[in-house]
Structure 1
Amino acid sequence: MALITYLVEDNQTILENLIETLEEIASVTVVGHAATESEARRWLSLHDGQWQLAVVDMFLREGSGLGVLAGCRQREPYQKVVVLTNFATPDIRRRSMALGADAVFDKSNELDEFFAYCIAETSQVTPPA
């Protein structure tokens, strides 16, 4: 069973590469994506309980990943939210975790860890309600 995944990323090249790589190395089905905080919050709210992993960039075309994280605070236990950003500073990591992120990864030097996390999550897939 595939991990139902939603991506929040405003860089089209990164988005395309992320989708391709995730679908190749892990049992992931990307069901949608957003480039802005409001678009992401709206989709995640409308599909409450229907996704299993949200991957959130910190700096978006409009708004921020912190706002997306705040919108995901009431999710189900099987729903994971991870931050994948070029700005994984200690402050961003702390603030992200305080808002409920399950993990924070730096795009520049923690992609292997991010992909390993996604692979591990696919082995624990729980069907949506």
Structure 2
Amino acid sequence: MTLSIFLVEDLRQVEGALTDYLSTMGDFKVLETARTEAEANHWLQEHPGAWDALILDLVLDQGSGMNVIARARAQPRAGKIAVFSGYASEGIRQHCIALGADAVFDKTETSALAAWLRDIGNSTR
């Protein structure tokens, strides 16, 4: 089964690199991307239950990924939520988990993110 991913990342280079990386890892498909909090929340509202995993940055062009966590978690049939940020301190990790994130990764932890996604894919089969 292909894992459907919604990616929220404001930096085009990171978005492109992460999308390419995930496509080489196997059964991952980036359904859509958003660069702002408003774009992310709008897509979530229009596509409830359409995603298996949400990967999001905390610092966006406009708004905050933290607000997207709460919106995504409130959806019926919400998928798994991972924060992928350069600001993943222990305090930020705890706050994101309290908001409803399932995992928090520093942007240097790409292989850990991929392993987490593989685990999700294996558990949904």
With the length of structure 1 as denominator, give the TM-score of the two structures.
0.91
Query: Structure 1 residues 40 and 78, CA, compared in 2 at 3 Å: closer, same or farther?
Result: closer
Q: RMSD over aligned Cα, in angstroms?
A: 1.4
Q: Distance in 1 between matches of 2:66 and 2:81?
A: 11
Moved over 6 A (4+): none
Question: Could you say which structure has the greater relative contact order, defined with CA pairs below 8 angstroms and 6 or more residues apart?
Answer: 1
Which residue in 2 is equivalent to 1:59? 59
Which residue in 1 is equivalent to 2:107? 107
Choose 73-82 or 27-36, whichever is displaced more.
73-82
Matches within 5 A, 1:24-63: 24-63=24-63
With the length of structure 2 as denominator, give the TM-score of the two structures.
0.94
| Percent of aligned pairs sharing the same letter | 35
Matches within 5 A, 1:9-28: 9-28=9-28
CA contact (8 A) 2:48 2:77 kept: no
- 1:118 matched to 2:117? The reply is yes
